[in-house]
Amino acid sequence: MTDRFDARIVGCYLYPITRYGYPPPAEDTPRYVDELHQLGFQSIELEGIREQHLSTVHAMSDDLRRQLDRLEVSVPYFCVVLSGLTSLDAAVRERNLELFELGCKTARVLGASAVLDNGPLPPYAFPEDVPIVRHFDEHVIARAGIPASLDWDAYWRDLIVTYRKACDIAAGYGLAYLLHPSIGVLCSTTDGFLHFQHGVDRENLRFNLDTANFYLQRDHLPMALIRLGKHVDYIHLADNRGLRPEHLPLGEGAIDWDVFFRTIERTGYAGRFGIDIGGAETGVADLGTAYVEAARYVESRIK
């Protein structure tokens, strides 16, 4: 194993997703912990992706905590991926709030300080042949229709109530609730998150800034850091060329990392940085090397 990286640098769950598919088998979670540990990470992400995957990880959580303690690895963020929180169907939303609480219980067993999910995905009517994926690209979003039953004002009120409940559930477990930006969601930009945060009005609703996704959407990264300020609890680091969704090794895209880290110094951001390289859309030749080199670079910029 290489020297261990600063605990502020997190090995993201995109690593096992890239190696083993989406979602990677939940029962193999101990392998993912070992692999990220072997790369040198002492902080990592884990995930529970929809009901079956989440329930499996929860059932393993005590054993996982023992493994984490033995390896001296922490899980500051547990991702609870539940698109059903944004359903038009009230019963589906309530069931997903139950699952969200299960995710919060799992997070506490694992020692996390926050749960994390993608921003709210509006109730698009997707073509039936669209697969379940991590993120929809702009071409898939462009093909989506709008349900005839959608009353936007009523939907927005219901969505705000749902996310207030989720924030309150998370707060009951001592957790922040972080939202992650991607194409098509309601918190995909600086303005989108600030508008949504204002509506939900919960102190523990925070933002996970994803550099690749922000750059793709032409949201100016340094200005986003300044405008979002205290709302940013976590930053996912990957490069992007500005042409399509991809999470490239640092330096292989168009992001100016020197400007970015000088803005980090200016804002006084003291949170964690997740190495979030890979995904089926990216095609990284040597994933392990990309993670190690990115972690070393970040270490050099935050000392």
Q: Please check the confidence at residue 144 and state whether its pLDDT lies above 90.
A: no
pLDDT value for 128: 66
pTM of the predicted protein model = 0.95
pLDDT value for 16: 98
CB 257 within 8 A of CB 291: no
Cα 9 from Cα 242, distance rounded (Å): 25
Q: How confident is the model at residue 206 (pLDDT cuts 50, 70, 90)?
A: very high
Q: Please check the confidence at residue 38 and state whether its pLDDT lies above 60.
A: yes
Burial letters for 118-147: b for 16+ Cβ neighbours within 10 Å, e otherwise? bbbbbbbeeeeeeeeebbbeeebbeebeee
Mean predicted lDDT score pLDDT of the chain: 94
Q: Give pLDDT tens digits for 262-292.
A: 999 999 999 999 999 999 889 899 999 999 9
- Phi then psi dihedrals of residue 301, to 5 deg: -95, -15
State the average pLDDT over residues 158-170: 98
Q: Which among 53, 52, 41, 44 is positioned nearest to 13, based on CA atoms?
A: 44
Pairing outcome for strands 272-275 and 74-81: unpaired
Q: Please check the confidence at residue 133 and state whether its pLDDT lies above 60.
A: no
Q: How confident is the model at residue 142 (pLDDT cuts 50, 70, 90)?
A: confident
**Domain spans of the chain, in order of start:** 9-302
Q: Please check the confidence at residue 127 and state whether its pLDDT lies above 90.
A: no
State the average pLDDT over residues 98-109: 98
The domain at 9-302 falls in which architecture? Alpha-Beta Barrel (3.20)
Q: Give pLDDT tens digits for 40-75.
A: 999 999 999 999 999 999 999 999 999 999 999 999
